[in-house]
Amino acid sequence: MASPLSQEFVREFTRTQRPLYLFILAQVGDAIRAEEILQDTNVVLLSKHQQFREGTNFLAWARQVATFEVLQSRQRQRRDKLRFSEEFVTAVANDAAEESDLAELRRKALQECLQALKADDRELIQRRYQPGSSGKELAEDLGRPANSVYQSLSRIRRSLLDCVERRVAQDTV
Amino acid sequence: MNSATRLELLSLVDGLCEGDLSDSQCARLEELVLADAAARRLYVRGIQLHGQLAWDAAGLGDREQLFELELQAASWGEPPNIGTFAAPLPSACRSTENTTNNGLSSATGRWRMLWGSIAALVLCALTIHWWPTASSGPLPGPQHVVVDQVPPEAPGEVVSPGIPSVRLPGERTHVDAAEPTDIGPIIDPPDVRIPQQSLVALIDREIQANWQANGITPAARAEDAEWLRRVHLDLAGRIPTIAEAERFLHSDSQDKRQQVLDRLLDGDEFPAYLSLVWSNLLVGRRPEVNVDALRGYLERQFAANRPWSEVVTHLVTATGDGDSNGAANFLLAHFNNEAVPATAFTARVLLGRQLHCSQCHQHPAIASWDQDEFWQFNACFQQTRIEEQLLVDQETGERRRVRSLVDEPGVAGSYYETLRGVMKVAYPGYRGEEIPLSPEVNRREQLAQLMLSGDENDVARAFVNRMWEHLLGHGFTLQVDDLGPHAPVSHPELFNELTRRFVASGYDVRELVTAICQSEAYQLSSQTESVPELDDPDRGTLPLFSRAYLKRLSPEQMFHSVLVASGARGLDLYHSRDLLDLRQSWIEQFFSTDETEENTELTTFDGSLPQALTLMNGELVRDVTDLDSAEFLGSVIRESDSDVEKIRRICLATLSRYPTTSELNSIRQLLRGYVRQRSERSVPPRIAAAEGLSDLYWAYLNSAEFSVNH
């Protein structure tokens, strides 16, 4: 029988989910696989929760576990199914880690930027990211050519990216 | 990392998060990211933004709260069911493929030229400001401000205008082809009904939808003068004459653009110019074959609006010598080196496919385009050989070599060496369809049929893209003759539909050209306040046609236009033997051919300095601007009443527009200064004024504005 999780652990664990997911995603480039690896990581984190010492950096610890899980997952994957090369994964891991530290900051900025979007654009991007939705389904729902919907999404993402960048820059100055 | 790379990278990231990045795109993404720390950072930010949006459904959900509740509950009992942590994530968005890796950065500064006279320097200032996109300023940085976005216009539905007139294949104006009809079966256009919407409405709807999707406001409608010059250069290969320009600019008719379009399309110059354009593509500018016969053949076909499928069939199946069968010159020009160039040219020019790369290796992006495919295609030409005869000309007594294409029934394949050095043989086929190996089967006829089979084939696709590029400055792909799954298409639905309709119309060239010329995109100005970042094909984005792209004049257009600007009357640019010879010798300065496996043509005609110097100091321009010999200039100087009128006429003759007020004022000031200066050296004012006007004329002919189709 596992010992109960401490309050502190639950709080840290919860807070870490998003940055951890983003950290993994940048290395595998695939939302579904990133979710799978996150789950594997979570299993390890939960089973080793007693190793966690309060006051230490939970996210750093979790990232170590995740890095290992990314590797494991790559080894399980057939070679030809691998998206990215070893070199690529190693190269982005550092940036992915640094960026995941800023996840909360970026989340807030993104909230504001989403509010600043034109209503139409906001609705479009929200419908796209509704759980279970996809660009293709969205295009069918809207009755617009798929290509044009993709282009719109692409444009909105670009402006969100720029907007988040600006807000974060302002906040940190 | 420049802005083109940035755009390319972001579009690859889009493709990645939509889950449909091809292997080659993935490799490209890696390449970009590994090359540059800034690119690496951008990649991580781009993909993590996607992750953020996915994580909490673009701000609608809050998964952390959910988790916390779940974990709190679980921590008092059994370890939590980890499966529930994974809320269903949106699985796919799709690629937009907005940009590609060809940084076609045009050295825009190259339109500027070095000028040698005072008048030219001032004019330079005048015309450069005219040229917003030609200045080589710093790259536009990212300018997306979310709150500042220009609201797109209301998504107005384009109403399809009534029932369009449908021309059934049988009703096509039937003009008996003057061409040998025994050189292969003519594929009957399939009997497919044309869908409801007119071509023009279809084009406009799709182009507009893309503008809206990208939040782009198109350029204003082109001024009459700008449009008139463009349509003459595109359809007749020359600028409008001063009379044509005056008539059009002063006309109040509502449908005057349509009238000009009709006049040009029904005129003699359109088929002649189109045949020139296509003969350049098919055999180049310095061929060793009878290019006049080829042009004559094409011209007759275009004049009678024969189906393009018929032309392609003639070109691919031609037999006989190039003098009596004009179509034979295409293959005659490329039958060297085991018909490898013939294979490559047929694929590239007629099918829009860069097959020649797979002559020696597999296509880097498309696994099915391998060596075998190239050599199977090549084997289609292996029943044919060239026969040479020495003929004695009856009149001159000169001996000439005459080459003919002769089909010889046989079963030979093509032999080639693989990358491992193994000799292999390929038997005739086209895209996986095999052609029976039998002496009775004429492989080239079979090939033509296979190329033209299907209601959306490569022949039609390649032609549509070519004509689209010819008229609108860019094809649907960044490289007009490189189609395939690896090449992103700017308007996939439109491109497919145009191709289908072109086939369904019986490959009706005139209908396609007319529709593009009537489309909204063709009416737009080339001038914009600023170039939209998303529509800048010169910097590697796919074209969105939100303005008219600048097209540099071809050598032929340049030659014709200088002659037209000289005011010479009654010129037959396409049939006068003297002019054709003059043009050929002028053009040959810029071109040379390599008889290699690809028969590549090298050109120095690129708007560079040597070309500018050839133009400025060459006989062509000198004859036209020389006071003693120039007919037009003389008449302007003698007959026009005032200085203002003289300047206006010179501007109209060269640039097909009237000078702007400020332009006019500066020129007058300049002229007065020049006359005063010369008077001090006791040159009579009348002569000095004429010299000044001659300078002005010369400067206009050498201006950036003249050398570009805008």
The span from the CA of B498 to the CA of B486, in Å, is 20
Find out whether A65 and A44 touch, Cβ atoms under 8 Å.
Answer: yes
Strands B414-417 and B423-426: what pairing? antiparallel
Mean pLDDT calculated for residue range A97-126: 89
Best of B22, B93, B205, B494 to mutate (most A CBs within 10 Å, chain A): B93
Mean pLDDT calculated for residue range B646-673: 91
| pLDDT value for B136 | 33
Give the pLDDT confidence of B69-118 residue by residue, as tens digits. Answer: 555 554 444 333 333 333 332 332 223 233 233 322 222 222 222 233 33
Mean pLDDT calculated for residue range A139-145: 81
Judged on CB neighbours under 10 Å (0-12, 13-18, 19+), B642 is exposed
Which of A131-145, B134-148, B181-195, B291-305 shows the lowest mean pLDDT across its residues? B134-148
Exposed e or buried b for every residue in B550-562, given b needs 16+ CB within 10 A? bbbbbbbbbbbbb
Residue B245 predicted with pLDDT over 60: yes
| pLDDT value for B612 | 53
Mean pLDDT calculated for residue range B328-334: 94
What is the Cα Rg of chain B in Å? 29
Please give the structure tokens belonging to residue B701: 């002919």
Domain boundaries in chain B?
A: 3-80, 115-136+556-709
The distance of B196 to chain A (nearest Cα, Å) reads: 18
A104-172 folds as: Arc Repressor Mutant, subunit A (1.10.10)
Nearest to A32 among B50, B89, B213 (CB): B89
Which of B309-318, B477-486, B514-523, B611-620 shows the lowest mean pLDDT across its residues? B611-620
pLDDT tier at B598, thresholds 50, 70, 90: low
Strands B551-552 and B433-434: what pairing? unpaired
Closest-CA residue to B242 (of B564, B578, B524, B600): B564
pLDDT tier at B634, thresholds 50, 70, 90: confident
Find out whether B277 and B309 touch, Cβ atoms under 8 Å.
Answer: no
Phi, psi dihedrals of residue B670, rounded to the nearest 5° = -65, -45
Which of A137-146, B241-250, B474-483, B623-632 shows the lowest mean pLDDT across its residues? B623-632
Query: What is the DSSP secondary structure assignment for residue B348, as one 8-state letter?
Result: I
Q: At what angle do helices B685-701 and B643-655 cross, to 10 degrees?
A: 20
| pLDDT value for B189 | 38
The distance of A95 to chain B (nearest Cα, Å) reads: 6
Find out whether B44 and A22 touch, Cβ atoms under 8 Å.
Answer: no
Distances in Å between the alpha carbon of B38 and those of A83, B1, B25, B562? 21, 7, 19, 49
- Cβ-based neighbour number of residue B181 at 10 Å: 12
Mean pLDDT calculated for residue range B410-421: 76
Q: Which residues of A touch B89 (CB under 8 A)?
A: 31-32, 35, 131
Which of A73-82, A116-125, B89-98, B685-694 shows the lowest mean pLDDT across its residues? B89-98
Please give the structure tokens belonging to residue B49: 């933004």
The span from the CA of A153 to the CA of B7, in Å, is 14
pLDDT tier at B144, thresholds 50, 70, 90: very low
Domain boundaries in chain A?
A: 7-101, 104-172
* Nearest-by-CA chain A residue for B17: A30
Given the structure tokens 């000289």, which residue do they identify?
Answer: B566
| pLDDT value for A3 | 61
Find out whether B550 and B709 touch, Cβ atoms under 8 Å.
Answer: yes
Find out whether B289 and B345 touch, Cβ atoms under 8 Å.
Answer: no
pLDDT tier at A77, thresholds 50, 70, 90: confident
Residue A167 three-state SS: helix
Nearest to A32 among B45, B91, B94 (CB): B91
Mean pLDDT calculated for residue range B357-380: 78
Find out whether B294 and B322 touch, Cβ atoms under 8 Å.
Answer: yes
Residue B229 predicted with pLDDT over 90: yes
Selected residue with higher pLDDT from B601 and B494: B494
Residue B141 three-state SS: coil
Task: Give the rounded percent of residues in chain B with a pLDDT score beyond 90.
Answer: 37
Which of B125-129, B398-402, B677-681 shows the lowest mean pLDDT across its residues? B125-129
Which of B232-236, B275-279, B590-594 shows the lowest mean pLDDT across its residues? B590-594
> Hey, which residues 14-33 in chain A have their CB within 8 Å of chain B?
14-15, 17-18, 21-22, 25-26, 29-32
Q: Is A48 on the interface with B (CB under 8 A)?
A: no
Which range in A49-58, A163-172, B366-375, B652-661 is most confidently predicted, on average pLDDT? B652-661
| pLDDT value for B111 | 28
The span from the CA of B265 to the CA of B267, in Å, is 6
Q: What is the mean pLDDT of chain B?
A: 77
Please give the structure tokens belonging to residue B456: 């959306």
Give the pLDDT confidence of B461-501 residue by residue, as tens digits. Answer: 999 999 999 999 999 998 899 898 888 999 999 999 999 99
pLDDT tier at B186, thresholds 50, 70, 90: very low
Given the structure tokens 């490189």, which residue do they identify?
Answer: B482
Question: Are the Cβ atoms of B91 and A87 closer than 8 angstroms?
Answer: no
Which of B94-98, B520-524, B625-629 shows the lowest mean pLDDT across its residues? B94-98
Please give the structure tokens belonging to residue A110: 């993104």
- As a whole number of angstroms, the longest Cα–Cα distance in chain A is 55
| pLDDT value for B79 | 38
Give the pLDDT confidence of B500-520 residue by residue, as tens digits. Answer: 999 999 999 999 999 999 999
The span from the CA of B430 to the CA of B441, in Å, is 15
pLDDT tier at B145, thresholds 50, 70, 90: very low
Q: Which residues of A touch B60 (CB under 8 A)?
A: 126, 129-130
> Hey, which residues 144-203 in chain B have their CB within 8 Å of chain A?
144-147, 149, 151
Given the structure tokens 């755009």, which residue do they identify?
Answer: B7
Nearest to A95 among B16, B40, B142 (CB): B40
The distance of B201 to chain A (nearest Cα, Å) reads: 16
Q: Which residues of A touch B546 (CB under 8 A)?
A: none
Find out whether B106 and B679 touch, Cβ atoms under 8 Å.
Answer: no
Distances in Å between the alpha carbon of B705 and those of B100, B226, B275, B665? 29, 11, 26, 19
Q: Report ipTM (2 d.p.).
A: 0.93
| pLDDT value for B656 | 94
| pLDDT value for A47 | 82
